[in-house]
Amino acid sequence: MVLDAPGRARTITAPRRVLVKEVNWLGDVVMSLPALRLIRQAWPSAHLSILIKRELAGFFDGARWIDEVIPYSISGGLRRYADTAGIISVIRAGRFDLAILFPESFSSALWVTLAGVRNRAGYIADFRGALLTHKSSPPADAAASHQMYRWIAMLRGTIGIEADAALPEIDVHEPHRAKMREWLGARRRSSDRTLIAIAPAAAYGPAKEWPPERYSALIDHFGERFGAECVLVGSPGERARCELVARGSKSGALMAAGETGVGELIALLSLCSGFVGNDSGCMHVAAALKIPTVGVFGSTDPKRTGPLGPRTAVIYRGIECSPCLTRTCRFGHYNCLAQIEPTEVASAIMNLGAR
């Protein structure tokens, strides 16, 4: 028996078909993995389907413990209504017994309600409480704990899953790994050199981005001091920043930004000896792959979104105005990032065993 609202209780039998609506950003998907694995552990024989944005669907290419991945996309304008109707139709055809909503959006609750999913679990948010059958509010300490625990707490409060969660762990799709091994082989100067992945961009804005000239200097330091080679990773929209970083470096770097899907990005990072980047999806992927990972933090709070795992480190100044959680520095100085030196970052990743 689980509580779905104060003073009320509902029962839920072991579902045969479970739909999980995944979150919409790569880093959040990584941080939601422990909760997703708890769902699989709770109902090992259930058919487990993942509803996720099309551009992120490749994340689960190597996850054999997931039975089905349902990619979707939402267009703008009038096409949006047709896309939404199509999503609802696909969900209805799946005949799911239970839908678990990781996002806290009204739309995700509306989709599964209109699709006729009988049991609908999620946080009360965005005026959607009436659409949920198994619901709870975020815990009072949610803002002070790591984001990973937010979804775990939701499972406990809505459908009564009580279990210890492991850290995020990503399954690499071996065909992707073979493809990226070949990609590297055609571009690397020497396979004997240490390969460091660098993600110099972040979707949230410049208050999360260490200056490009610092990344350029870091690439040169890796090459001159450690004989290492670097590969720049990111989305197509981040390629211009990656090219700026590469041009500013005397050593140069391999350019993978915009050339890989999410599944191929995971495979590429799994072949690297270490990773350096801002608070971003790439950082969380690298940490979950258990390669030495250093996150450079500015406006965001590493206690909430820092990389998780035994081979991770955070470079964070924590000055009086940080974390401000804003896209741009209201003072214009970006001192939380400007005070971080390339040698400090290089030492951190080498201390984690990136050689």
Q: Read off the pLDDT of residues 96-108 as tens digits, 9 standing for 90 and up.
A: 999 999 999 999 9
- Tokens standing for residue 89: 């139709």
> Are 16 and 130 in the same domain?
yes
What is the chain's mean pLDDT, rounded? Answer: 93
- Tokens standing for residue 147: 């984001």
Distance of CA 48 to the CA centre of its chain: 20
Asked if residue 257 is part of any domain, the answer here is yes
In this predicted structure, the answer to whether residue 293 has a pLDDT above a threshold of 90 is yes
- CB-facing half-sphere around the CA of 129: CA atoms within 13 A: 9
> Are 340 and 214 in the same domain?
yes
Asked if residue 66 is part of any domain, the answer here is yes
Asked if residue 169 is part of any domain, the answer here is no
What confidence tier does 54 reach under pLDDT thresholds 50, 70, 90?
very high
In this predicted structure, the answer to whether residue 156 has a pLDDT above a threshold of 90 is yes
> Are 297 and 341 in the same domain?
yes
Asked if residue 213 is part of any domain, the answer here is yes
pLDDT for the residue numbered 254: 97
- Could you tell me which residue, 355 or 321, shows the higher pLDDT? 321
> Are 151 and 10 in the same domain?
yes
Kindly list the strands in the beta sheet with 134-136, ordered across the sheet, starting from the edge strand earlier in the chain.
68-72, 47-53, 17-21, 98-101, 119-123, 134-136
In this predicted structure, the answer to whether residue 1 has a pLDDT above a threshold of 90 is no
> Are 283 and 346 in the same domain?
yes
Distances (CA, A) of 211 to 75, 134, 228, 302: 33, 45, 21, 19
pLDDT for the residue numbered 47: 98
**Residue-range definition of the domain harbouring residue 51:** 2-159
Asked if residue 143 is part of any domain, the answer here is yes
Q: Dump pLDDT digits (tens) for 295-317.
A: 999 999 999 999 999 899 999 99
In this predicted structure, the answer to whether residue 60 has a pLDDT above a threshold of 60 is yes
Number of domains forming the structure of the chain: 2
In this predicted structure, the answer to whether residue 176 has a pLDDT above a threshold of 80 is yes
> Are 327 and 291 in the same domain?
yes
Per-position DSSP letters for 259-288, written without gaps between them: S--HHHHHHHHHTSSEEEEESSHHHHHHHH
- Tokens standing for residue 241: 């920043």
Q: Which of 159, 190, 206 is the last residue of a domain?
A: 159
Q: How far apart are CA 155 and CA 305, in angstroms?
A: 20
pLDDT for the residue numbered 10: 57
CATH value at residue 137 = 3.40.50.2000
Asked if residue 147 is part of any domain, the answer here is yes
Q: Which of 288, 267, 309 is nearest to 30 (CA)?
A: 288
Average pLDDT value for residue range 180-203:
93
- 148, 164 Cβ separation under 8 angstroms: no
In this predicted structure, the answer to whether residue 9 has a pLDDT above a threshold of 70 is no
Q: Which of 116, 136, 159 is the last residue of a domain?
A: 159
- 133, 120 Cβ separation under 8 angstroms: yes
Q: How far apart are CA 200 and CA 219, in angstroms?
A: 11
From its phi and psi, is residue 191 left (phi > 0), alpha (psi between -120 and 50) or beta? Answer: alpha
Average pLDDT value for residue range 201-205:
86
Average pLDDT value for residue range 193-206:
92
Q: Which of 215, 227, 186 is nearest to 296 (CA)?
A: 215
Q: Dump pLDDT digits (tens) for 43-53.
A: 999 999 999 99
Q: Which of 100, 174, 167, 186 is nearest to 135 (CA)?
A: 100
> Are 153 and 246 in the same domain?
no
- 207, 329 Cβ separation under 8 angstroms: yes
In this predicted structure, the answer to whether residue 55 has a pLDDT above a threshold of 80 is yes
Asked if residue 53 is part of any domain, the answer here is yes
Average pLDDT value for residue range 202-206:
85
What confidence tier does 42 reach under pLDDT thresholds 50, 70, 90?
very high
Helix H or strand E segment including 304: helix 302-305
> Are 141 and 256 in the same domain?
no
> Are 121 and 209 in the same domain?
no
What confidence tier does 216 reach under pLDDT thresholds 50, 70, 90?
very high
What confidence tier does 76 reach under pLDDT thresholds 50, 70, 90?
confident
pLDDT for the residue numbered 3: 43
Average pLDDT value for residue range 205-215:
93
> Are 221 and 151 in the same domain?
no
> Are 127 and 183 in the same domain?
no
Cβ–Cβ contacts within 10 Å for residue 188, how many?
14
> Are 128 and 191 in the same domain?
no
Q: Dump pLDDT digits (tens) for 270-291.
A: 999 999 999 999 999 999 999 9
Average pLDDT value for residue range 36-58:
97
Q: Which of 131, 159, 187 is the last residue of a domain?
A: 159
- Of all residues in the chain, what percent carry a pLDDT higher than 90? 85
Asked if residue 122 is part of any domain, the answer here is yes
